[in-house]
Amino acid sequence: MPGRLIGVGVGPGAPDLVTLRAARVIGAAEVVAYPALPGTGSFARSIVADLVPDGAEEIVIEVPMTRDRAPAQAAYDVAAERISAVLEGGRDVVVLCEGDPFFYGSFMYLHARLSGGFACEVVPGVTSLTACAAVAGRPIVARDERLTVLPGPLPDEVLRERIAGAEAVAILKVGRHLARIRSVIAGLGLTERAVYVERASLPEQVVLPLFEAPARAPYFSMILLTKGGDPWL
Amino acid sequence: MPGRLIGVGVGPGAPDLVTLRAARVIGAAEVVAYPALPGTGSFARSIVADLVPDGAEEIVIEVPMTRDRAPAQAAYDVAAERISAVLEGGRDVVVLCEGDPFFYGSFMYLHARLSGGFACEVVPGVTSLTACAAVAGRPIVARDERLTVLPGPLPDEVLRERIAGAEAVAILKVGRHLARIRSVIAGLGLTERAVYVERASLPEQVVLPLFEAPARAPYFSMILLTKGGDPWL
């Protein structure tokens, strides 16, 4: 029997925002895999450092941070081959994923390569979306409101059109696009409706009205924008 | 010192998709509050039945299911007064919320009434959105894709326009709107891209291609629709 590929969402960053299921699956893992960035290591693994068993085999997926996607995809090709060999040998591989594996997660690159040949399971996790809302004390959507989730790297005109047409907006992966996104939101007259959050749920988290946001934002930052409506009704 | 209002997301339904933090907060609760529907009781409480302490005081918010919102809002008025009295007495109140408190959660009705006067905390939870994707084995969004989340009760023309303009769509609260939503999706030629999920993560969960979905859907059902893109890149 080949092993199973198990993508496990470890949540937004606080170790206690891991689910009971994720904690159990990680704690029982023989083999864990996770992406790591050059220099900063693996955020996903750091979240569950206390849960990974001492004797577990660890497959580190070193992901080069280049604008060209080819080097990163080559890294996933290599990782998929290595994971494939473990699965064929009959052992499960637990892939650690920041947030949720299927919500802007790099787990998808492994899923695309391996789910055709092996049994695959996903343990959903708390996303940065709801973690940011929680620490900001800002409800995202209620009743029949529509939500639009937009990655920050999208071009201005796409952001502008999408923000204008939505009732609630979350802009993820703000990072180096902060100044540009801020201009788009200001142009729509919505700055006072927006809150900026970075590293939600971690000790170093930042929560500020958008107009007080710092000049530089890390990759793990988000802008939440809600246009209102009466929350009482 | 007045107590704190603590909204706790208990996830989509499986008891082990509760976070470690939620389990700890609920396990230490002196007073818990939760909505309950006439006849079916409280879904939120059923998820964490094993975690609520035996001696905890329980505030049941009986929510009438009427199209007119006034009776439900009157129920939240009454509940907010009762919770307010507990908070003023110096005890925390833990409010149990299906999924995540700020993602289409009824917790917002209490938050709107009480957060001005009392300290408020939110423990984010796994949403039905990522739980449905997990059980369907369907990535939702990657890279720079946009996601639109739409409640099923929205009118046809809004659904049509929003689905046409999005790359990935989740339609929540499908329930009695299923046939109508299915027609909208068929009209856009997207039926084969859509999956139907009900009661994700519960033993009675259903996962089907949309064209095989049952004639009747429960309130806790969802349609996920992804238009593709190459998941390898």
Break chain A into its structural domains and give their ranges.
5-123, 128-226
From the list B69, B102, B165, the residue facing A233 with the nearest CB is: B69
Token code pair at residue A147: 């939500």
Nearest CA in chain A to B110: A232
Q: Give residues with Cβ within 8 angstroms of A8, minimum separation 6.
A: A22, A25, A26, A94, A95, A96, A97, A101, A122, A123, A125
| Angstrom distance (rounded) from CA B169 to CA B164 | 9
Element (H, E) at B187: helix B178-187
Q: Is the dihedral of CA A105, A107, A109, A111 positive or negative?
A: negative
Nearest CA in chain B to A126: B126
Per the CB < 8 A criterion, the answer to whether A105 and A57 are in contact is no
Per the CB < 8 A criterion, the answer to whether A72 and A80 are in contact is no
From the list B112, B139, B233, the residue facing A102 with the nearest CB is: B139
How far away is chain A from the Cα of B19, in angstroms, using its nearest Cα? 4
Averaged pLDDT, groups of 10, chain B, 233 residues long: 98 98 98 92 97 97 87 94 98 98 94 96 98 95 91 94 91 95 96 95 96 91 83 49
Contact across the interface for A232 and B113, Cβ inside 8 Å:
yes
Contact across the interface for B126 and A124, Cβ inside 8 Å:
yes
pLDDT value, residue A165:
83
Which of A144, A156, A197 best probes binding to B when mutated, by most B CB atoms within 10 angstroms? A144
pLDDT value, residue B97:
97
pLDDT value, residue B222:
97
Contact across the interface for A154 and B141, Cβ inside 8 Å:
no
Which of B5, B8, B17, B76 best probes binding to A when mutated, by most A CB atoms within 10 angstroms? B17
Please list every residue in chain A whose beta carbon sits closer than 8 Å to the beta carbon of residue B139: 102, 105, 108, 111-112
Q: What string of DSSP letters covers chain B?
A: ----EEEEE-BSS-GGGSBHHHHHHHHT-SEEEEEEBTTTB-HHHHHTTTTS-TT-EEEEEE----SSSHHHHHHHHHHHHHHHHHHHTT--EEEEESB-TTBS-THHHHHHHHTTTS-EEEE----HHHHHHHHHT---B-TT--EEEEETTS-HHHHHHHHHT-SEEEEE--GGGHHHHHHHHHHTT-GGGEEEEESTTSTT-EEEEGGG--S---SSEEEEEE----TT-
Contact across the interface for A109 and B147, Cβ inside 8 Å:
no
Nearest CA in chain B to A128: B124
Q: Give residues with Cβ within 8 angstroms of A229, minimum separation 6.
A: A142, A143, A145, A167
Low-confidence ranges of chain A (pLDDT < 70): 229-233
pLDDT tens column, B67-117: 788 999 999 999 999 999 999 999 999 999 999 999 998 899 999 999 999
Per the CB < 8 A criterion, the answer to whether A12 and A170 are in contact is no
For residue B59, what are the β-bridge partners? Answer: B33
From the list B112, B126, B165, the residue facing A126 with the nearest CB is: B126
From the list B73, B151, B231, the residue facing A108 with the nearest CB is: B231
Q: Which of B84, B149, B120 is nearest to A136 (CA)?
A: B120
Q: Selecting from 3.40.50.920, 3.40.1010.10, 3.40.1160.10, 3.40.50.460, what CATH number does the domain B5-123 have? A: 3.40.1010.10
Nearest CA in chain B to A170: B147
- pTM (2 d.p.): 0.96
From the list B108, B124, B158, the residue facing A134 with the nearest CB is: B124
Please list every residue in chain A whose beta carbon sits closer than 8 Å to the beta carbon of residue B149: 141, 146-149
pLDDT value, residue B111:
95
Nearest CA in chain B to A200: B124
From the list B19, B101, B150, the residue facing A18 with the nearest CB is: B19
How far away is chain A from the Cα of B124, in angstroms, using its nearest Cα? 6
pLDDT value, residue A227:
82
pLDDT value, residue A233:
45
CATH code assigned to B128-226: 3.30.950.10
